[in-house]
Amino acid sequence: MIVTQKKSQEEILKMLSKHSKVFLIGCGECSTTCHTGGEKEVLEMKQCLESQGKKVTGWVIPNAPCIAAQTKAGFAQNMPALRDTQAILVLSCGLGVQSVKENDRFGLEVLPALNSMFGTLMDAKGNFHEVCSNCGECVLDQT
């Protein structure tokens, strides 16, 4: 699992400054578990953006947006909304953002609402334990 953290409202609004119509994509797995990109958080983001004068054209929460087929299915179910959109704000880790960008047929600006922090395991009590910093210099054989 990848732990994510919400970007500040100011940072998100700055990224969206030239866009008035936004489509939201959440994540049904990691970001839902982290309470950063599940249905509750997507609806909070919708309310926040609308309070700032943005039009949220629609939203979808694929189980795992990092899986291309799930992103494509979410897009297929929301074609009218996507045609009326200027940007896609993704509430998932960087893998989900990349998948959304790769599978966007409209050439929309795809923006991350979250920061990816690290890979983790969760214990039986629901506590996260960092197991990988995704640094690209794996030393797990030494640790």
What domains are defined for the chain?
2-132 (3.40.50.11860)
**Which residues are CB-contacts of 4 (< 8 A; sequence separation ≥ 6)?**
30, 31, 34, 36, 37, 92, 93, 114, 115, 116, 117
pTM: 0.90
How much is the mean pLDDT over the chain?
A: 93
Question: Residue 77 pLDDT more than 80?
Answer: yes
**Both tokens assigned to 123:** 């214990």
**Both tokens assigned to 37:** 């990109």
28-62, pLDDT tens digit by residue? 999 999 999 999 999 999 999 999 999 999 999 99
